[in-house]
DNA sequence: TTGAAATAGCACCCTGAGGGTACTATATTC
DNA sequence: GAATATAGTACCCTCAGGGTGCTATTTCAA
């Protein structure tokens, strides 16, 4: 369905929670109770984030989690990758030479190249969104900030405006 | 995993195949054999595409499929939607007032708004890629063209502007 | 030193979507 | 009427998503 999993949802919520309180450590329980998430699952997610250094964890009493980087350094693609694994728009997109082919028509596939280009553009898209963008609108309730993006700006029209990638 | 399903892969292959031969009808068997796809599954996919008017079908002997629109009118988002259903970056993204909430923290969810903005941008991204972009690079092997459509252009705007490093 | 609080690491389970098959009905051509 | 092709269903199997539970480890504080 081309959708994120719920784990990523939880990750985003937890990260926003931490971003809003940069000067203290937050426990999994606190975050779970505050936002009504299942605590055990949230802990799994926080573990993943910790292993990817997106959050720092402190064990023991008075322990908890805090952001491991600044909110402008944590990209959406890093979050997704930490929780769900690498984004694969199509299975063959991240295929390396010599790998066991995930798809048995690799050699003759007529759409492989163009689809890989789309993959790169999607990665760039996700890498361009950072936690600060999300957290910002979370605290202030204004609707405005993200919405430069807000008007979806139909990209269909022109061939050839600027491109960010490649 | 934020990935397309194999059905969409098949749809893209079939559509590219048809785009390359605009003046004749192609049978499911022909496409399946040509590209090594399972015929029965490909037929399912073609049925979906037909119901969404992305392809025209002709029944009976000498029947088959052909594109239902020009290759510049068939967007990637339309293809995905025809085969997989609506793109939902997150479950709640397409939620309408009064629906049964797909997520029981709808009301208090701190990231709902920003995430919906991302969803809109993703939709615009996918709507900006058309079949012609794929089919083009299929026949000619040049690598350049696709960069025109969906320019990723991070939605940050207010906050830092980050360039996708690729 | 001991207990409580917190994360770390497994192991396991259940459900549903992805992915695939099979069969029948219908339309068209020759 | 036979052959060819799509249309429509109904069904099945596998595996990732999503969730639970238990144990180990670390840290603080009484």
**Secondary structure element (H or E) that encloses residue A92, with its range:** none
Is residue B149 within 8 A of residue B128, CB to CB? The reply is: yes
- pLDDT above 50 (res B148): no
Which residues does chain A have within 8 Å of residue B113's beta carbon, measured at their own beta carbons? 137-138, 143, 146
Mutate to test the interface with B, among A5, A71, A128, A130 (most CBs of B within 10 A): A128
Cβ burial of A39 (10 Å; 0-12, 13-18, 19+) is: middle
For B76-127, the pLDDT digits (tens) are: 999 999 999 888 887 766 655 665 556 667 667 888 888 888 888 899 999 9
Q: Is B132 on the interface with A (CB under 8 A)?
A: no
List of protein residues whose beta carbon is under 7 A from strand C = A 1, 27-29, 43-44, 46-47, 50-51, 57-65; B 5-7, 38, 40-41, 44, 58-63, 84
Is residue A133 within 8 A of residue B159, CB to CB? The reply is: yes
Q: Which residue has the tokens 């990758």?
A: A81
Q: Do B113 and A137 touch (CB under 8 A)?
A: yes
Which of the two residues, A164 and B45, has the higher pLDDT score? B45
User: Within the 24-63 window of chain B, which residues sit less than 8 Å (CB to CB) from chain A?
Assistant: 35-37
Which of the two residues, A91 and B148, has the higher pLDDT score? A91
Read off the pTM.
Answer: 0.82
Crossing angle for the helix pair B112-127 and B76-84, to the nearest 10 degrees? 110
Which residues does chain A have within 8 Å of residue B1's beta carbon, measured at their own beta carbons? 5, 84-88
Q: Is A12 on the interface with B (CB under 8 A)?
A: yes
DSSP per-residue codes, B85-100:
-S--SSGGGG--TTSP
**Secondary structure element (H or E) that encloses residue A64, with its range:** strand A64-67
Q: Which of A102, A97, A52 is nearest to A77 (CA)?
A: A52
Q: Confirm whether any atom of chain D, the nucleic acid strand, is less than 7 Å from CB of B149.
A: no
Which residues does chain B have within 8 Å of residue A5's beta carbon, measured at their own beta carbons? 1
For A98-146, the pLDDT digits (tens) are: 655 666 676 678 888 888 888 888 999 999 999 998 887 555 443 333 4
**Secondary structure element (H or E) that encloses residue A58, with its range:** strand A55-58
In whole numbers, what is the pLDDT of chain B averaged over residues?
79
What pLDDT shows up at residue A88?
82
- Assign A163 a pLDDT band (cuts: 50, 70, 90): very low
What pLDDT shows up at residue A113?
83
Average pLDDT estimate for A67-78: 95
């Amino acid at each position: 369905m081309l959708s994120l999993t719920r784990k990523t949802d939880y990750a985003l919520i937890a990260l926003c929670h931490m971003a809003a309180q940069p000067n203290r450590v937050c426990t999994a329980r606190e975050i779970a109770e505050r936002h009504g998430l299942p605590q055990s699952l949230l802990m799994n997610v926080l573990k993943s984030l910790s292993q990817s250094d997106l959050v720092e964890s402190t064990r023991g009493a008075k322990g908890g989690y805090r952001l491991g980087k600044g909110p402008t350094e944590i990209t959406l693609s890093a979050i997704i990758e930490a929780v769900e694994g690498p984004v694969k728009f199509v299975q063959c997109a991240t295929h390396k030479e010599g790998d066991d082919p995930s798809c048995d028509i690799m050699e003759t596939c007529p759409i492989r190249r163009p689809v890989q280009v789309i993959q790169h553009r999607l990665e760039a898209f996700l890498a361009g969104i950072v936690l600060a963008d999300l957290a910002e609108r979370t605290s202030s309730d204004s609707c405005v900030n993200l919405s430069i993006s807000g008007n979806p700006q139909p990209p269909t029209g022109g061939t050839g405006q600027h491109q960010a990638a490649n």
